[in-house]
Structure 1
Amino acid sequence: MTPMNNADYLTRLEHADELEALKAAKKASGLTYEQLAELIGVNKVWLASVFEGQQYVPEEYTVKLAEALKISPSATAFLNSHPYKGNTDPILYRLHEVIDTYGPAIKDIIHEQGGNAIMSAIDFGLDVDVTEDAEGNHRVIIKFDGKLLPYAKKGKYPW
């Protein structure tokens, strides 16, 4: 198989038709990501990422998703392969900008409060909400919840 070119990688054309069909089935269901996530027992943000082709989905959840959307399990089976991931959207650029701008400060605070450690992206939770503040402005609230992983001290220092 020829490797994907950069354009295919960034736009995830590998399963574009299947993803569009999945989005159409979700729209036809009338369910929100939150409602659908609750039905199948997953996180709403993770599920929304699935619909963008950004997640590997274990078979048990591809089956539950098909049942919830009242479609054939064969229509969700493609989600059981590991995707190529990329970003092409302005919101994603802003998220990168946030990490580029505040990442070093976040790192310093993690080390200051948690010691010689990092935040796990595997033992990790994520939530997103849009709220309205007292002035009527809409605000985006993003919560990262990663396990603090102290560096292992195996062998002689420095390890």
Structure 2
Amino acid sequence: MTAPIMPKSDAADLIVAARIRQGLKWSDIAERIGAPVVWTVAALLGKHPVPADKATMVVEMLGLGEGVTESLIQQPTRVADDAAATDPTIYRFHEALAVYGPALKELIHEEFGDGIMSAINFKVDVSRRPDPDGDRVVVTFDGKFLDYRW
């Protein structure tokens, strides 16, 4: 009888701890596996399935076990808020933040330290970027960093 696959949240906890112990930045890991940094963080926090070759590289790099590799490869379960499901555009923003929010938080803390992005002194912009595969919607959130002061 085989053991059940490790929950993605458990694998994410092991990855975060190993990354910190080894003094690696998320960008170091992304560069080594040849993937965009925000995608890498989101995937390693359990929001995307990781291709087997990249999962193996991460696990070897961090000195973790095969159970983490199996967990990373699995398709995640993404749960949406029912209230966000009423409008397709609003839902996509909700989905994007559900998937990438934890990764963006990690990257903000890594780059700026302990604090938050303010939504009070905040700018937002929407623009169109032409692309051969279909125009792209570019949304920019521009918030002031507020460090925690104890």
- Normalised by the length of structure 2, the TM-score is 0.49
- Normalised by the length of structure 1, the TM-score is 0.47
Choose 1 or 2 for highest CA Rg. Answer: 1
